[in-house]
């Protein structure tokens, strides 16, 4: 049975921290689907199409990775694609508290789908998409925090 995992998020934009978690997760799964959650209540800085294109470029040479946009409940999308695991990256204990609440809810909705937490490498623990967007909005150079394929 193929081990399929969904890594959901907004990835607005994808950061070096996300890439670190994705690269380390590859050894754990046969297929890793990066799912860009489409939430009508959020106004992202970058379009879903732009985020998909960046992620495709970053992982162009990795056949185990694909990227899609999806909406609705994450566990419902997991069922659609046959994923039995959800990957979440953790930087700090506050991330864990938030992510555990979501994982518990998902477990009640879909007991057959497991959430896997990977901690971020210390080098990337302070990087968040929110902070990167602030740097970009204010005209700063965000290239230190972003994969080289993202040219702003």
Q: Tell me what pLDDT residue 1 has.
A: 85
- 104 Cβ partners below 8 Å, 6+ apart? none
pLDDT tens, 40-94? 787 899 999 999 999 999 999 999 999 999 999 999 999 999 999 999 999 988 8
- What is the distance of C-alpha 58 from the center of its chain? 13
- Catalytic pick from 51, 85, 88, 129? 129
Reply yes or no on whether 129 is catalytic. yes
CATH superfamily of the domain spanning 4-144? HUPs (3.40.50.620)
Query: What's 94's DSSP letter?
Result: H
Q: What is the pTM of this model?
A: 0.95
- Catalytic pick from 40, 42, 94, 151? 42
pLDDT tens, 14-41? 999 999 999 999 999 999 999 999 987 8
């Amino acid at each position: 049975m193929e081990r399929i995992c969904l890594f959901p998020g907004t990835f607005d934009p994808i950061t070096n921290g996300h890439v670190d978690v994705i690269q380390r997760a590859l050894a754990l799964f046969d297929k890793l689907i990066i799912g860009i959650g489409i939430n009508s209540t959020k106004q992202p800085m970058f379009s879903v199409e732009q985020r998909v294109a960046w992620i495709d470029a970053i992982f162009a040479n990795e056949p185990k990775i694909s990227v899609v946009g999806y909406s609705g409940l994450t566990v419902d999308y997991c069922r659609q694609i046959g994923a039995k695991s959800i990957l979440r990256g953790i930087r700090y204990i506050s991330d864990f508290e938030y992510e555990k609440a979501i994982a518990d809810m998902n477990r009640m909705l879909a007991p057959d789908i497991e959430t896997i937490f990977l901690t971020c490498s210390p080098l990337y623990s302070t990087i968040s998409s929110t902070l990167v967007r602030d740097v970009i909005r204010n005209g700063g150079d965000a290239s230190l925090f972003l994969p080289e394929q993202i040219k702003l």
